[in-house]
Structure 1
């Protein structure tokens, strides 16, 4: 539609249209000029592994060393390599649904049994159905994927919920993948990691990514922060899969962590303004129910009544008709895992990270007019 001249408002893609901080790009250019263009250790260069261990410990209250850090070409590879390290074919892995769709696809691709756990709506947003999680655990369950500050629903665990998940993992001897991609993408409060709870560091792999905080989505830089035995397996996988993460980009990552944070803070301030703009419009649309999250860069409103008012019964049809009528593109709940039995509400996801405030207000204003017409 865009190629045909239609104006598109791309709320569907969780990318960031803001520039990577200059200190990061300058560090990369310097590394290239200095000849950091060859192979490097599969686990990552020492400077970056040390910087990551220090940064993670400072923000999470943990005690990792560089030996716990395995650099990756992005955050996604951590999901696959975690599963390869801890799961055999036919074993079960619990994962959040709705959730990042790569969890479900990778579990099944690698021969595992993907068992979805759900969220329930509350006044503050969404909460994990802990009773359901416990009911899903069997002797074949090997791991649970846990995404605090969650994509797509922006859910954030309370201390009690996080501790309950940790207790289940300990009681049933489960490995935990803690996807912390949005750990620092928050507008108030303080993030906490499940890995910092007693008994959890030795069974948890943290997924770390530079994509969000530093606006480095296309750079493909991340890390697994893992117990030594799992870090060693993932490091071996690195050597076999890609040899190493791009050498000069790792120096940029080290500077991102240790260098001036002025532009990094500006990214978060800009995203806060975009969140407020998107929420301001969506919360006024008749038939739309939405909570205001304090983290990530997504909004996940209930559009059940809005769909009924438009006479549309299926949520993907709703998104298609909205796109053609307004140019506003967004994902639906069905993009984030197969719907579970008993779901009777329809949700959609808006990513506001790739549009300036004026386009957010303009596009969502068109959507509001269409829904209410």
Structure 2
């Protein structure tokens, strides 16, 4: 029996492969310091737990509307709009089972087979996977290092556009590199989208995971509302990764298409989890601030300790819960030629588990530096200190 040929184009979220390698190493009795996966080791806030329990007790366990319960769509419209300086109609909000399905459904709604979609590289690997799975042409655009982190190579991005390009995926507050666009860079992307009549997926998963400043949405810029779909998720801000709750905010014709896909794919998002979402948005926001303060301390410890390791360096990011240090000289000092070997040898020698640049898209021509990604969202500060201390000892031995 044969399977469909399109499966050959389907990639995966490669961080889970690293997680499996770490789990196997731990199962052999070794200590592991988990910097590999962007999960959060924070408990669900009490009022959100109570909302789930009440919804189940009240019998809210059956089917509900495909685009989401009205109460959640209204709460999302209010919250997302107020934080972005936009007026959002609840009819433009479609609830999804997490943020990730928005990528898939955006592409199905706006991209025909053979059309090109620009996406960040390094970037979330599901972008490229889904573009190719649905028959599109994946067009990576790259970042260049700066004193503050990374910036989009706008000349390279523009040069990648042709008459078949239909959309761009824009991940401000970016995974894996924690880059945040300047106002000028954001405006440049908006201008390119309008010049070439491109749809835009604005992946705003980390919009409120920040330690300084205030996030801005490209959708709020002049001329962008009618061509932009916002990806929103409860996973990061409310530590609801396993609850699988998010939404798309989209022009009505795209919102209607995504709603139709919901009906075809999963009928609806879990109803009692949606009521948890209402409680998260309408309830006290104190737990969010408390979590961010803990993450800030973890970030500071992580960056300080990395910069104390010979051959490693990183800028302190203002957002997300990732760092993307340059390890070129550290690898040279250890005589290790590939990032894959560096990751494996580090795990076995120190227990420190991390992803590498190669887990976030194939390196592009001209890249001559080596990077790894460490997530500090699921590891306590004491373990950060111990783990990176062991990494330092191993690299400097």
TM-score if structure 2 supplies the norm length? 0.93
Q: Which residue of the other structure, out of 47, 50, 61, is the alignment partner of 2:71?
A: 47
Residue 218 of structure 2 is aligned to residue 194 of structure 1: yes
Q: Tell me the CA shift for residue 207 of structure 1.
A: 0.3
Corresponding residue number in structure 2 for 1:31: 55
Q: Tell me the CA shift for residue 71 of structure 1.
A: 0.2
Q: 1:154-303 alignment to 2 at 5 Å?
A: 154-303=178-327
165-174 or 337-346, which deviates more: 337-346
Q: 1:281-360 alignment to 2 at 5 Å?
A: 281-360=305-384
Q: Tell me the CA shift for residue 4 of structure 1.
A: 1.2
Q: Tell me the CA shift for residue 338 of structure 1.
A: 1.1
Q: Tell me the CA shift for residue 261 of structure 1.
A: 1.1
**What is the alpha-carbon distance in structure 1 between the residues aligned to residue 281 and residue 298 of structure 2?**
25
**What is the alpha-carbon distance in structure 2 between the residues aligned to residue 264 and residue 116 of structure 1?**
34
Residue 128 of structure 2 is aligned to residue 104 of structure 1: yes
What are the Cα deviations for residues 297-346 of structure 1, in whole angstroms up to 9, with x where unaligned?
00000000000000011111101000000000000000001111111110
Structure 1: give runs of 5+ residues left out of the alignment. Answer: none
**What is the alpha-carbon distance in structure 1 between the residues aligned to residue 157 and residue 27 of structure 2?**
45
Q: Which residue of the other structure, out of 110, 115, 122, is the alignment partner of 2:139?
A: 115
**What is the alpha-carbon distance in structure 2 between the residues aligned to residue 269 and residue 26 of structure 1?**
24
Q: Which residue of the other structure, out of 140, 143, 157, is the alignment partner of 2:167?
A: 143
Q: Which residue of the other structure, out of 104, 109, 130, is the alignment partner of 1:80?
A: 104
Structure 2: give runs of 5+ residues left out of the alignment. Answer: 1-24
Report the 3-state secondary structure (helix = DSSP H, G, I; strand = E; otherwise coil) of the residue aligned with 2:378. Answer: coil
Q: Tell me the CA shift for residue 63 of structure 1.
A: 1.2
Corresponding residue number in structure 2 for 1:60: 84
Q: Which residue of the other structure, out of 153, 164, 167, is the alignment partner of 2:177?
A: 153
Report the 3-state secondary structure (helix = DSSP H, G, I; strand = E; otherwise coil) of the residue aligned with 2:193. Answer: helix
**What is the alpha-carbon distance in structure 2 between the residues aligned to residue 287 and residue 280 of structure 1?**
14
What are the Cα deviations for residues 145-190 of structure 1, in whole angstroms up to 9, with x where unaligned?
0000000000000000000000000010000000000000000100
Corresponding residue number in structure 2 for 1:370: 394
Considering only aligned residues, what root-mean-square deviation do their CA atoms show, in Å?
0.5
Corresponding residue number in structure 1 for 2:18: none
Report the 3-state secondary structure (helix = DSSP H, G, I; strand = E; otherwise coil) of the residue aligned with 1:335. Answer: coil
Report the 3-state secondary structure (helix = DSSP H, G, I; strand = E; otherwise coil) of the residue aligned with 1:144. Answer: strand
**What is the alpha-carbon distance in structure 1 between the residues aligned to residue 348 and residue 228 of structure 2?**
44
Report the 3-state secondary structure (helix = DSSP H, G, I; strand = E; otherwise coil) of the residue aligned with 1:17. Answer: coil
Q: Tell me the CA shift for residue 356 of structure 1.
A: 0.6
Structure 1 outlier segments of 4+, above 4 Å: none
Q: Tell me the CA shift for residue 361 of structure 1.
A: 0.6
Residue 91 of structure 2 is aligned to residue 94 of structure 1: no
